[in-house]
Amino acid sequence: MADFEYVDVNGRQIRVRPRETAQEIDEYGNFHRQPNRFTEGFGEGKNPIEKNRYILFWAKGCNWSNRAAIARELLGLEDAVKVEIVDWTDREENLGWEFVNSPDHINPETGAQFLSELYYNADEEYTGRTTVPAFVDYKTKKGRVKKRKFFHASFFL
């Protein structure tokens, strides 16, 4: 079991986000994006195709996120997949993406304040960074599919 550093935020124990330099910068200074952790597809079983079950969390400053948000709109999934923009806050510790646009910074569907809480609900031993875009099943409050290509034409139709 890995040791993690935590910070208390409003009575919540929030795990400090690992730095890119620890795992993703090689000896020559090249950045190698961490592999996606949540790569399950949709269909029968783990990730049912169901309207009003998923939220796409994305950040305006992230190119990967922008593509996911654009794909959601191009496929006409605005009524099927909720969306929320996340951002950084002015905290001393690096706690990752926070739901700064929700009332009191708490996402109403999941009850989480930070995206990391949903990652660790899905895998409490996850050691990578919490990144966006993130596609979350808000019925189970777990991060689900973490792919750059997670939408397809028949999704939610």
Instruction: Tell me how far apart the alpha carbons of residues 143 and 3 are, in angstroms, rounded to a whole number.
Output: 21
Alpha-carbon gap, residue 17 to 149, rounded angstroms: 25
What's 52's domain CATH number?
3.40.30.10
Confirm whether 156 is domain-assigned: no
The answer to whether residue 121 is domain-embedded is yes
Token readout for 123 is: 């895998």
Can 4 be counted among the known catalytic residues? no
Mind listing the pLDDT tens digit for each residue in 10-53?
888 887 877 666 677 788 888 777 777 766 666 666 777 778 88
51-68 pLDDT, tens digit per residue, is 888 899 999 988 888 888
CA atoms within 13 A on the CB side of 127: 7
Residue 112 domain flag: yes
Beta strand 142-145 with 134-137 is antiparallel
- pTM here is 0.75
Query: How many domains does the chain fold into?
Result: 1
Asked whether residue 41 is assigned to any structural domain, the reply reads yes
Domain annotation covers residue 109: yes
Residue 36: inside a domain: yes
* Full domain range(s) for residue 30: 6-145
- 151, part of any domain: no
Set 7, 9, 16, 62: catalytic member:
62
153 falls within a domain? no
